[in-house]
Structure 1
Amino acid sequence: MSILDVSDLNVWFGKHRDRVDAVKGATFSVAKGESFGLVGESGSGKSTILRAITGLAPDWSGSIVVEGQQLTKKRPKAFFKTVQMVFQDPYASLHPRHSVDQVLGETLHLHGFKEIDSRVVKLLDDVGLGQKFRFRYPHQLSGGQRQRVAIARALAPEPDLLLLDEPTSALDVSVQAEILNLLADLRRDRGLTYVMVSHDLSVVGHMCDRLAVMKDGEIVEILDVAALRAMKATHPYSKHLLEASV
Structure 2
Amino acid sequence: MSMLDVDGLNVWFGKHLERVDAVKGATFQVARGESFGLVGESGSGKSTILRAITGLAPDWSGTLSIEGQPIAKKRPKTFFKQVQMVFQDPYASLHPRHSVDQVLGETLHLHGFQDIDTRVVKLLDDVGLGQKFRFRYPHQLSGGQRQRVAIARALAPEPELLLLDEPTSALDVSVQAEILNLLTDLRADRGLTYLMVSHDLSVVAHMCDRLAVMKSGDIVEIMSVDALRAMNATHPYTQQLFKASL
Q: Could you say which TM-score interval applies, normalised by the shorter chain? A: over 0.9
Task: Show the counterpart of 2:212.
Answer: 212
Task: Show the counterpart of 1:152.
Answer: 152
Given residue 169 of structure 1, which amino acid in structure 2 is its aligned partner? S
- Distance in 2, matches of 1:68 and 1:26, equals 17
1:202 shift after superposition = 0.2
Segments of 5+ residues of structure 1 without an aligned counterpart are none
Q: 4+ residue runs of structure 1 moved beyond 2 angstroms?
A: none
Given residue 228 of structure 1, which amino acid in structure 2 is its aligned partner? L
- Distance in 2, matches of 1:18 and 1:94, equals 33
1:243 shift after superposition = 1.2
Deviations 1:180-225 (A, max 9, x none): 0000000000000000000000000000000000000000000000
Task: Show the counterpart of 2:139.
Answer: 139
Given residue 111 of structure 1, which amino acid in structure 2 is its aligned partner? H
- Distance in 2, matches of 1:172 and 1:229, equals 24
Question: SS of the counterpart of 1:90?
Answer: coil
Task: Show the counterpart of 1:190.
Answer: 190
Task: Show the counterpart of 1:24.
Answer: 24
Deviations 1:39-66 (A, max 9, x none): 0000000000000000000000000001
- Distance in 2, matches of 1:195 and 1:70, equals 17
- Distance in 2, matches of 1:120 and 1:69, equals 31
1:110 shift after superposition = 0.2
Question: SS of the counterpart of 2:74?
Answer: coil
- Distance in 2, matches of 1:166 and 1:194, equals 12
Given residue 192 of structure 2, which amino acid in structure 1 is its aligned partner? L
The percent of aligned pairs where both chains have the same amino acid is: 85
Given residue 113 of structure 2, which amino acid in structure 1 is its aligned partner? F
Task: Show the counterpart of 2:7.
Answer: 7
Task: Show the counterpart of 2:64.
Answer: 64
CA RMSD of aligned residues (A): 0.4
Deviations 1:153-199 (A, max 9, x none): 00000000000000000000000000000000000000000000000
1:69 shift after superposition = 1.2
Task: Show the counterpart of 2:38.
Answer: 38
Q: Within 5 A, what are the aligned runs for 1:70-219?
A: 70-219=70-219
The TM-score normalised by the length of structure 2 is 1.00
- Distance in 2, matches of 1:167 and 1:214, equals 18
- Distance in 1, matches of 2:94 and 2:68, equals 31
- Distance in 2, matches of 1:173 and 1:3, equals 31
Given residue 234 of structure 2, which amino acid in structure 1 is its aligned partner? T
Question: SS of the counterpart of 1:91?
Answer: coil
- Distance in 2, matches of 1:210 and 1:108, equals 32
Segments of 5+ residues of structure 2 without an aligned counterpart are none
- Distance in 2, matches of 1:145 and 1:52, equals 28
1:244 shift after superposition = 1.0
1:101 shift after superposition = 0.1
Given residue 83 of structure 2, which amino acid in structure 1 is its aligned partner? V
- Distance in 2, matches of 1:124 and 1:158, equals 14
Question: SS of the counterpart of 2:77?
Answer: coil
Task: Show the counterpart of 1:52.
Answer: 52
Q: Is the counterpart of residue 235 in structure 1 residue 228 in structure 2?
A: no
Given residue 4 of structure 1, which amino acid in structure 2 is its aligned partner? L
Question: SS of the counterpart of 1:93?
Answer: coil
